[in-house]
Amino acid sequence: MRLIAENLSGERGGEPVFEDIGFTLENGEALIVTGPNGSGKSTLLRVIAGLLPHASGRIGIEGGGEEFPTVAAACHYLGHQNAMKAALTVRENLEFWQSFAGSGKLGIADALDDVGLGGLSHLPFGYLSTGQKRRAAIAKLRISHRPVWLLDEPTAGLDKASDARLAGLMRDHCAAGGIVVAATHLPLGLEGVKALEMGRVHV
Ligand SMILES: Nc1ncnc2c1ncn2[C@@H]1O[C@H](COP(=O)(O)OP(=O)(O)OP(=O)(O)O)[C@@H](O)[C@H]1O
């Protein structure tokens, strides 16, 4: 499988935010997207996910077969928001996401153990601390199999141990043939990755 962007341009409110972005990511590869505030990292991830239209160029998946014919079908998008309902329990939130995105190799209990939240699945999501909320959102990546992870500031709010755990999850995902695109201001603890620096700042 291959994730390809060619001459990709994006805009917000009719104003150009980035242009002429190109990359190819094969199975097992990661792209780290950096750049100053407002340079368009989140916009790029949303364009890749299909949540925003691109102004020009092309973004697509090759070799995804019948299971993953489009980027939208192939990706997990983890944005700044965790996309969980505060009043539902952690388990209920993950059950919803599993029914939406399809079952993966890991069950909900194992995925929560993986992010150090075993034992908290019965709590309303809204009761969790900021870092625990982020960890529960990261567990979403593990309960359904989507080969392309699009992660926007995935470490926001995480403590050191959780940072390291997330790095391990990303390494495992790539080692299993997955693809990661992550926007970040902080090093993610991944080696041998591709890098994209977004340059233009619009104020
Ligand atoms: N709905 C919108 N309408 C108009 N402009 C917008 C809209 N959303 C974002 N922008 C602008 O688009 C530009 C890119 O924003 P974006 O969130 O992609 O940047 P970023 O690199 O992710 O920033 P940060 O590092 O602060 O998260 C910014 O100048 C922002 O103000």
Q: What is the pLDDT of residues 33-53, one digit of tens each?
A: 999 999 999 999 999 999 999
Tell me the average pLDDT across 189-203. Answer: 78
Residue holding tokens 């364009």?
47
pTM: predicted TM-score of the whole model, two decimal places: 0.94
Band (202; pLDDT cuts 50, 70, 90): very low
**Whole-number pLDDT of residue 200:** 52
Task: Evaluate if residue 104 carries a pLDDT over 80.
Answer: no
- Torsion 88-89-95-100 (CA) sign: positive
| Long-range interactions of 21-27: CB distance < 8 A, separation 24+ | 21/57, 21/196, 22/57, 23/194, 23/196, 25/179, 25/181, 25/194, 26/1, 26/2, 26/179, 27/1, 27/2, 27/147, 27/177, 27/178, 27/179
* Residue 83: alpha-carbon gap to chain centroid: 12
Closest to 157 measured CA to CA, from 136, 177, 130, 179: 130
What is the CB neighbour count within 10 angstroms for residue 159? 15
Mean pLDDT of the chain: 93
Ligand 1, atom 8, residue with closest C-alpha: 12
CB of 39 closer than 6 A to ligand 1? Answer: yes
**Whole-number pLDDT of residue 190:** 85
Closest to 55 measured CA to CA, from 16, 83, 100: 16
Counting from 1 in the atom list of ligand 1, the atom nearest the Cα of 39 is 21
CA angle 27, 80, 113 (to 5 degrees): 65
Task: Evaluate if residue 91 carries a pLDDT over 50.
Answer: yes
Tell me the average pLDDT across 41-67. Answer: 95
**Whole-number pLDDT of residue 102:** 84
Task: Evaluate if residue 73 carries a pLDDT over 90.
Answer: yes
Counting from 1 in the atom list of ligand 1, the atom nearest the Cα of 14 is 4
**Whole-number pLDDT of residue 44:** 97
State the pairing for strand pair 148-152/75-78: parallel
Q: Contact 184/114 with Cβ under 8 angstroms?
A: no
CB of 147 closer than 6 A to ligand 1? Answer: no
Ligand 1, atom 31, residue with closest C-alpha: 38
User: Measured in angstroms, how far is the CA atom of residue 31 from the centroid of ligand 1?
Assistant: 20
Task: Evaluate if residue 201 carries a pLDDT over 60.
Answer: no
Closest to 129 measured CA to CA, from 146, 142, 117: 117
Tell me the average pLDDT across 132-145. Answer: 94
**Whole-number pLDDT of residue 83:** 95
User: Measured in angstroms, how far is the CA atom of residue 61 from the centroid of ligand 1?
Assistant: 25
Band (203; pLDDT cuts 50, 70, 90): very low
Tokens of 142: 């593990």
Tokens of 183: 């926007």
Task: Evaluate if residue 188 carries a pLDDT over 90.
Answer: no
